[in-house]
Amino acid sequence: MPSTTEPQPILLSDYRPPDWLVDTVELDVRLHPSATRILARLSMRPNPAGRAGSPIVLDGDELVLKAVSLDGRALAGTAYVATPSALTILAPPQQPVLLEIETLLDPSANTKLMGLYRSSGTYCTQCEAEGFRRITYFPDRPDVLSVYTTRIEAERAEAPVLLGNGNLQESGEVEGTGRHYAVWHDPFPKPCYLFALVGGRLDRITEPFMTATGKEVELGIYVEPGKAGRAGYAMDALKRSMRWDEELFGCEYDLDVFNIVAVADFNMGAMENKGLNVFNDKYVLASPETATDADYANIEAIIAHEYFHNWTGNRITCRDWFQLCLKEGLTVFRDQEFSSDQRSRAVKRIADVRLLKSHQFAEDAGPLAHPVRPASYREINNFYTATVYEKGAEVVRMLKTLLGEENFRSGMDLYFERHDGTAATIEDFLTCFQDATGTDLSQFALWYAQAGTPRLEVAGHWDAAGATFTLDVAQTVPATPGQIDKQPMLIPLALGLVGEDGRDLPLQPAGGSNGAPGVVLVSEARQRFVFENVTERPRPSLNRGFSAPVKLVTDLSTQDLIFLARHDADPFNRFDAAQTLALGVLVDAARAGATPDAAPLVEALGAVLADPALDPAFIAQALSVPSEGDVAREIARDVDPDAIHAARLALRRAIGSALAEPLAGAFERFAVPGPYSPDAASAGRRALRNACLDLLATAGAGDGPARALGLFRAADNMTDRFVALSVLAHAVPAEREAALADFYAMFQGDPLVIDKWFALQAQIAEPGTLDRVRTLTAHPAFAMTNPNRVRSLIGSFAAANQTQFHRADGAGYDFVAQTVLTLDAINPQVAARLLAAFRSWRSLDAPRREAAEAALQRVSRTPGLSPDVADIAGRSLG
């Protein structure tokens, strides 16, 4: 590693307030494909809380400075220093000044998709986290809040639609030039990462919305020409989100307009720019023929998420990027709650926990582990992680569990009241809950500081004579990079004691409860909880609803787990009992290279399938056994992905054969009548049918293959058609190529659908897949410049094809590493995320471990790496 040139990490402990503030920003933007001119007028003043007498130091990134003046006078060349990455005004007067800066940009050449760029000809911006500095020189940090006015000018033919933050103030022609302009004003002070503008030829749908206090808002969704017919569901989700936030959190919208723009080239899912959200079009556009039930659910969740940021993120923003979870964890919690209220709470919780375990637990167990609030970073783009987002949301959820619904709401109310219009910290947030409820949260705060998934070992003992049930709990937090010794955490453990008849026994902690009803608080390394008046041997149902993001190790027997899978009153734990059974069977089989013992699972799932009271969507979740990644994480060392794949396939085949009759019965019984509707009940029935179909076809039983072929041909919606295609591609090799070709012919010209086609092929667990993926990179529908294409084809291969990415000969690693290097020159952010697929390399068996390490080394030693890729490579190698 060339250590001399390596930039130093940024430390949370080094935080200092800015020396200069920017009260107002006036931007004059003249859009042009290759020569866009930006004139920025910044009203600045020394920060009383900063260092007196400081120069003005502004950030830049690949900027070209054309002119700079102070208080109306061009600055002498000796008065400032300009580089592409900074502009320093050496000795400014220590008083309010007007700084005017002209920069010149080439949006067409911007392949990083940060700052101002073009997507299918549309001008758009992405400024979070540090993209505004690619537009103009600016103190690009979230604690500098300013009021923005933006004048956008463009050729009318090229960009008839001009959008900015806030409300439209003025618009008109630039006489005799073919150009026009619009002036947007956002009265709410905001950090520059929330700045956005859009210019292009776009179609639009609009709807009025009346807020709780009677304010009229015009909602607009802008899409590529011809696609307005696919924006209706997003609009509906937006209106439901706005109402929900008023009702659940008392948060009302605050501008006259709220616009969403869908673009085809976007690094992330979506972005919450004030009054002008910009979305990856994958999370806006939906029609029954092109979008699956999962797509609809994602659209609903992400529309809600970005909308909810208007209060948690925009009105109250982050002091610095270490506080990212302040807005992201909280907002994920809010969007999860929204989806739970719109759909089935139990099924949503199951889906969220599956995601948490597969992404966050995996991250926490490897070299990229970090606290929910990191203490240092080299590249902030690499900290938009499952830990910050998903574990961050879990921490907020635990806070609610700890305090109870009402107290939680009081704390949130105080947070909005106290910090509106400011840039806050996690301490500020927690202090609101302490002040509103009188609860000491100092130990709880460790959830933000200590990385690693806590491990809870729980042993139960029933004493018949004393009618007591004792739980002995031991908690440990594993070592993670840079954190060896950990302190015990405060863990809200929801639980119940399930009696012989399947009903909950009364839960009576000896000496009174130390938590909310049904919850015990684990706060020590070792702790004993005794429950009284337990007159029969109970089965403990632990961590109900996944009340804490911990790894639970219990002494429950197979019979106990089967019992809980049949009877637990907590639906999450009913699901989890079946998963735990399956995981145990899979781990044993994979380790021994043996056939899994399917009997206990067949028993448990047979009961679930036969229970008429259960929600079909819940049954579908129960039928889906843990992923290969889940099994790998459980095995943890010397992992052989081929053995895991074989075990899982054998288990699914055994389940499909043993339960062929009820599975085929359910497939018939849950047919969805009428035309397609994305509602949760219909989606749940489809999910169950398709889970049945998958097991049947995998087992070659119950006419599975024929049913899949029939469904593929007859489907009137993408959910069914794509599941049928997946089943054929994975489980019916004889039909694979023809079905793939048919699907391509049906949807060519529809990139979002072709992405599904790419992703599916990349996931086939066969040695031919690597060559197939290589070949597909030359397919005319593939483009290395489009993040959705890259994620679909290469990302799916690396993250969702355990056997082929982890080929024993290392060819999967070489391919992905080479792709990362090619991509790094185009789009470092996307390249770095792709490289993170190596994160579990140390847990593999020796040949794979060595091959993966060699590939990472090759990346790491390549000269000229972006900071993004260098950071991931460096930390992965540890």
Which helix (H) or strand (E) segment holds residue 170: the answer is: strand 167-174
Q: Name the binder of 384 from ligand BES, Zn ion, none, CB < 5-8 A by kind.
A: ligand BES
- CB 175 to ligand BES: min, Å: 39
What's the CA gap between 252 and 216, in Å, rounded? 11
224, interface contact from ligand BES, Zn ion, none, CB < 5-8 Å by kind: none
User: Look-up: residue for tokens 């959190």?
Assistant: 249
- Asked if residue 328 binds ligand BES (CB under 6 A), the reply is yes
CB of residue 205 vs ligand BES: minimum separation in angstroms?
22
Query: In the bound complex, what is the minimum distance in angstroms from residue 549's beta carbon to ligand BES?
Result: 17
Q: Is 847 in the site for ligand BES (CB under 6 A)?
A: no
**What is the nearest approach in angstroms of ligand BES to the Cβ of residue 245?**
15
DSSP string, 444-498: TTHHHH--S--EEEEEEEEETTTTEEEEEEEEE---BTTB---PPP-EEEEEEEE
> Under DSSP, is residue 740 helix (H, G, I), strand (E, B) or coil?
helix
Binding mask 95-134 for ligand BES (x = CB under 6 A): ---------------------------------xx-----
Least Cβ distance, residue 324 to Zn ion (angstroms): 9
Greatest CA span in the chain, whole angstroms?
96
Which of ligand BES, Zn ion, none has residue 223 at its interface (CB below 5 to 8 Å by kind)?
Answer: none
Task: Provide the b/e sequence for 544-575 (b: ≥16 CB within 10 Å).
Answer: bbbbbbbbbebebebebbbbbbbbbebbbbbb
Q: Which is nearer to ligand BES, 833 or 848 (CB)?
A: 833
The b/e string for 20-57 (b: 16+ C-beta within 10 A; e otherwise) is bbbeebbbbbbbbeeebebbbebbbebbeeeeeeeebb
* Shortest-Cβ-distance residue relative to Zn ion: 328
Q: How many CB atoms sit inside 10 A of residue 878's CB?
A: 9
Q: In whole angstroms, how close is the CB of 305 to Zn ion at the nearest point?
A: 5
Residue 363 interacts with which of ligand BES, Zn ion, none, CB < 5 to 8 Å by class = none
CB of 829 to ligand BES, least distance (A): 8
What does the block give as tokens for 831? 């390249």
Binding string, residues 463-502; x marks residues near Zn ion by CB under 5 A: ----------------------------------------
- In the set 42, 332, 426, 816, which binds ligand BES (CB under 6 A)? 332
Residue 140 makes CB contacts below 8 A (sequence gap 6+) with 58, 59, 130, 132, 133, 192, 193
Using CB under 6 A, which residues numbered 364 to 423 contact ligand BES?
Answer: 384, 389
- Residue 297 binding: pick among Zn ion, ligand BES, none (C-beta 5-8 Å cut-off by kind): none
Distance CA 788, CA 536 (A): 56
Output 290 or 331, the one with its CB closest to Zn ion: 331
Nearer to ligand BES, 297 or 565 (CB): 297
Q: How many residues belong to the site for ligand BES (CB under 6 A)?
A: 16
Cβ nearer to Zn ion, comparing 330 with 870: 330
Side chain identity at residue 869, one-letter code:
V
Token representation of residue 165: 């933050």
Residue 496 CB, shortest distance to ligand BES, in Å, is: 32
Q: How many CB atoms lie within 10 A of CB 445?
A: 18
> Of Zn ion, ligand BES, none, which one sits near residue 271, judging by CB under 5 to 8 A according to partner kind?
ligand BES
| Interaction mask 284-313, ligand BES, x per CB under 6 A | -----------------xx--xx--x----
Q: Which is nearer to Zn ion, 314 or 719 (CB)?
A: 314
Q: List binders of ligand BES among 779-838 (CB under 6 A).
A: none
End-to-end CA, the chain: 12
Which CB, 272 or 337, lies closer to ligand BES?
Answer: 272
Q: Are 741 and 729 in contact (CB under 8 A)?
A: no
Amino acid at 354: R
Residue from 55, 269, 847, 867 in contact with ligand BES (CB under 6 A): 269
Residue 269 interacts with, from ligand BES, Zn ion, none (CB under 5-8 Å by kind): ligand BES
Q: For residue 763, which of 755, 773, 750, 774 has the smallest C-alpha distance?
A: 773
Return the bridge partners of 315, or none: none
8 Å CB contact between 842 and 367: yes
Minimum CB separation of residue 379 from ligand BES in Å reads 11
Total residues belonging to the chain: 878
Number of residues near Zn ion (by CB under 5 A):
2
Per-residue CA distances from 410 to 67, 405, 406, 517, 545 (Å): 51, 9, 6, 19, 23
Q: Is 337 in the site for ligand BES (CB under 6 A)?
A: no
Check if the beta carbon of residue 540 is closer than 8 Å to that of residue 569.
no
Stretch that binds ligand BES, among 26-34, 267-275, 470-478, 522-530 (CB under 6 A): 267-275
Sheet holding 257-263, edge to edge: 203-210, 216-223, 257-263, 276-280, 270-271
Give me the 703-722 binding string for Zn ion, x by CB under 5 A, dash otherwise: --------------------
Contact segment (CB under 6 A) with ligand BES among 24-32, 153-161, 263-271, 830-838 equals 263-271
Looking at the Cβ atoms of 253 and 563, the one nearer to ligand BES is 253
Among 270, 388, 564, 605, interactor with ligand BES by CB under 6 A: 270
Task: Choose between 393 and 701: whose C-beta lies nearer to ligand BES.
Answer: 393
Shortest distance, position 136 Cβ to ligand BES, whole Å: 18
Distances (CA, A) of 27 to 60, 266, 430, 452: 16, 24, 37, 44
- Residue 665 CA to residue 661 CA, distance in Å, equals 6
Residue 65 has which token pair?
Answer: 């400075």
Nearest distance in Å: CB 306, ligand BES: 5
What's the CA gap between 364 and 632, in Å, rounded?
14
- Which of ligand BES, Zn ion, none binds 389 (CB below 5-8 Å, type-dependent)? ligand BES
Least distance (Å) between residue 335 CB and Zn ion: 8
Give whichever of 641 and 787 is closer to ligand BES, judged by the CB atom: 787
> Following DSSP, what letter does each residue of 787-854 receive, concatenated?
HHHHIIIIIHHHHH-HHHHT-TTSHHHHHHHHHHHHHHTT-HHHHHHHHGGGTTGGGB-HHHHHHHHH
* The entry of Zn ion, ligand BES, none that residue 337 binds, CB within 5 to 8 Å by partner kind: none
If the CB atoms of residues 134 and 309 are measured against Zn ion, the closer one turns out to be: 309
Query: Which residues, other chains included, contact 621 with Cβ-Cβ below 8 Å and sequence gap of 6+?
Result: 347, 350, 351, 354, 575, 687
d(CA 302, CA 26): 31
Q: Which residues contact 6 (CB under 8 A, 6 or more apart)?
A: none
Would you say 276 or 522 has its CB closer to Zn ion? 276
For ligand BES, the nearest residue by Cβ is 269
Q: Which among Zn ion, ligand BES, none contacts residue 700 (Cβ within 5 to 8 A by kind)?
A: none
Pick out residues in 330-359 that bind Zn ion (CB under 5 A). 331
Task: Pick the closer one to ligand BES by CB: 187 or 269.
Answer: 269
Q: Which amino acids are annotated catalytic?
A: 306
Q: Cα(478)–Cα(588) distance, rounded to whole angstroms?
A: 24
Q: How far is the CB of 786 from ligand BES (least distance, A)?
A: 16
Between CA 714 and CA 570 the distance in angstroms is 38
Strand 504-505 vs strand 491-498: parallel, antiparallel, or unpaired? Answer: antiparallel
- Residues numbered 315 to 334 that lie near Zn ion (CB under 5 A) are 328, 331
Query: Of 302 and 711, which CB lies nearer to ligand BES in the complex structure?
Result: 302
User: Under the rule (CB under 6 A), what is the footprint of ligand BES?
Assistant: 128-129, 268-272, 301-302, 305-306, 309, 328, 332, 384, 389
User: Under the rule (CB under 5 A), what is the footprint of Zn ion?
Assistant: 328, 331
